[in-house]
Amino acid sequence: MDPLDMEIDNLEREGKRKPKPKECPAIVVDIDIDFNLKSIKDHPVYDEIGNMIPFEHLYRKQKTIVVFVRHFLCYVTRDYVTDWARVSQRALDDASTRLVLVGCAPYRHIRGFKQTTGFPYQVVCDPERTIYKGLGMIERLDAGWGSKHVKSSNLFGTVKTLWWGMKSLEYQGDLKQQGGQYILGPNSDVTWYHIDTKSHDHAPINLILAKAGVEQVNFEGDTGVMNF
C-alpha cells in the first residue's frame, strides 16, 4: 500500500474509534536524556532559498524554541503551526527567546508552507532527517487523536491532506516521521523537550511557552485550545 494511502487508512480508523479521549497524553520530559547535541550541531539545515546553516547556529547565541514537525502536507502539522503563528514577536523579545520551526521536506516547499500557515518566523528543513534521528524523534505511521490545536476532523483533515498531495505531486517530508519540541541554547543548554509519539501528540503551545518563560497566547476566543 502507498504510504499516503496507509496514513489515510490509519486516520480513518482512528476517527471511528469510540470513545475519543479528550486529550493526548504527552511525553514531557524535564531534561533527563542522553542525546548529544555535539554529534549533530554541525549538521546542516536549509533555509527557504537553499542556504546551508549548521544546526547549532539556530540556538547557540540565545534560548530557542525549536519545533520539529511532520511532513508539510499533514493537516495536523498545518493546524498546529497556524496556532504557533499567533505567538508575538514582542513576547519572544521580552523573554530573549527565538522561535524556529524545522521540517523534513525539501527546502523548496518552505515558502509555500509559511504562506499557508501564516508562520512569520524562521523555518528550515532537515530533509535527510539526521537531526530528527539524533534527537530521538520517532518514525511511526500513527495519527492519534485529541490535540486541541487541531481544528480539522480526522475525516475532513484526511481529505485536505489528500487534496494538497494531489496538487503538490510529491511528498513534502517522510509520512512516518513524527516531530518534537525542544528548548535549546544558549550554547549547548537543553532546558526541556517533548517527543511526539503520534501526529496529535505535540505539546500544547502555552505549556512550551511557560517552560521557556515566554508570555502565553490568549486562546480564549478559540474554545478548542487549552489555556494554562
**For residue 16, what are the CA distances in angstroms to 10, 11, 12, 144?**
10, 9, 7, 12
Q: What is the CA angle 200-34-137, rounded to 5? A: 25
* Measured distance CA(1)–CA(122) in Å, rounded: 35
Structure pTM?
A: 0.79
Which residue type, as a one-letter code, is found at position 119? F
Quickly list DSSP for the chain.
--HHHHHHHHHHHHHH-SSPPSS----EESS-----GGGTTTSEEE-TT--EEEGGGGTSSSEEEEEE-S-TT-HHHHHHHHHHTTS-HHHHHHTTEEEEEEESS-GGGHHHHHHHHT--SEEEE-TT-HHHHHTT--B--------TT--S-HHHHHHHHHHHHHHH-S-SS-TTB--EEEEE-STT-EEEEEE-SSTT-PPPHHHHHHHHTPPPP--TTSTTSPP-
pLDDT digit string (tens) for the chain, length 228 residues: 544 445 445 544 444 443 333 343 444 444 344 577 889 999 999 999 999 999 999 999 999 999 999 888 888 898 899 999 999 999 999 999 999 999 999 999 899 999 989 999 999 999 999 999 999 999 887 666 667 887 765 544 454 555 444 455 566 567 789 999 999 999 999 999 999 998 789 999 999 999 999 999 998 656 556 554
pLDDT of residue 37: 85
Residue 22 and residue 144 in contact, taking contact as beta carbons nearer than 8 Å: no
Tell me the Cα Rg of the chain: 17
Nearest to 215, CA basis, from 120, 67, 91, 85: 91
Q: Which three cell numbers stand for residue 62?
A: 540565545
* Measured distance CA(6)–CA(1) in Å, rounded: 6
